[in-house]
Structure 1
Amino acid sequence: MKVLVVFLLGLTLALAEHDHDHHHHHHESYVVKTHDDLVTYRSYCAEKVHASEELVEKYKKWQYPDDAVTHCYLECVFQKFGFYDAEHGFDVHKIHVQLAGAGAEVNHSDETHQKIANCAETHSKEGNSCAKAYHAGMCFMNANLQLVQHSVKV
């Protein structure tokens, strides 16, 4: 899905360029991830979920079918980035801060934050943890495409 590639690339750029001046104390311990981290996480997660060579090839082309293996693959990638865990779901604040980019002031009561939060909440009771991560992540990317595309250009 092209939306996912835009999201992950934008996320990677935002993460790589993000400084440690978060303006929010609860994010100070977050370690910024790089493109190399993303590559490592993708390999690790593909192996962890026993993705077939065919699926791995699809992932390399940014194609993410709606199936159980892919759900868990994306859950793993989101977990490795520090944006998702099975017990607490998505960390809406971290996602918003990362997409805002380096040094940006983030208003956690703005429309973007609400879109992220709505997607996380809408899918919070949906199936298992892998399904929640996949569907909420896809919802978020679809709801915030312009922001994600902008973060790629930064």
Structure 2
Amino acid sequence: MYKSILLMFAIVAAVSSHMEHYREECKNELNIPQENIDNYKNWKFENDDHAPCYIECIFRKIGLVTDGQFNVDAIAEKLSTEDKTADELKPDIESCIDNTITDSCKRIFKGFACFKENNLYRVKASAQNS
């Protein structure tokens, strides 16, 4: 169930030039210190008030979030691999979405954390392919 969100974060952690560009844009838009960005690259998001909106910003820029809502189809497609198709991933992704959370940054971050919990390998694999 957490696979999709983890894959999304793998995308966030990607070292590609696109990701670096998005990181810089989100850092500037949200006035996030470089030290925090360095922590995010190392999967350290704990106790950081900037992390939820940073993740929302990155996901929005890469098309995984639209109007504050997860784009489940895009996420599933991005995280699909030989062992699991996009259609097979959708229920896992959807199970991590908590639409009772009204703050979009917190909702996106919680979904990300949920998926990351059990699917970090998918996220990292996706990031390598971005």
TM-score bucket of the superposed structures, by smaller chain:
0.7 to 0.9
Q: CA deviation at 1:127?
A: 4.2
* Counterpart Cα distance in 2 of 1:119 and 1:5: 12
Which residue of 85, 104, 127 corresponds with 1:106?
Answer: 85
Q: CA deviation at 1:81?
A: 0.7
Aligned to 1:27: none
Give 3-state SS (helix, strand or coil) of 2:106's partner.
helix
Which residue of 48, 54, 57 corresponds with 1:76?
Answer: 57
Match of 2:32, as an amino acid?
A
TM-score of the two chains, using structure 2 as the length reference: 0.74
Q: CA deviation at 1:52?
A: 2.1
Q: Is it true that 1:64 corresponds to 2:39 in the alignment?
A: no
Larger Rg: 1
Aligned to 2:10: 8
Q: CA deviation at 1:8?
A: 1.9
Which residue of 79, 88, 96 corresponds with 1:119?
Answer: 96
Identity %: 25
Structure with bigger RCO (C-alpha 8 Å, 6+ apart): 2
Q: Is it true that 1:129 corresponds to 2:104 in the alignment?
A: yes
Deviation digits for residues 68-93 of structure 1 (CA, Å, limit 9, x no counterpart): 32111111000001001344x11111
* Counterpart Cα distance in 1 of 2:119 and 2:6: 11
Which residue of 39, 47, 53 corresponds with 2:34?
Answer: 53
Say whether the 8 Å CA contact 1:5–1:62 is kept in structure 2.
no
* Counterpart Cα distance in 2 of 1:9 and 1:44: 16
- Could you say what the CA RMSD is over the residues aligned between the two structures, in angstroms? 3.4
Aligned to 1:92: 72
Unaligned stretches of 5+ residues in structure 2: none
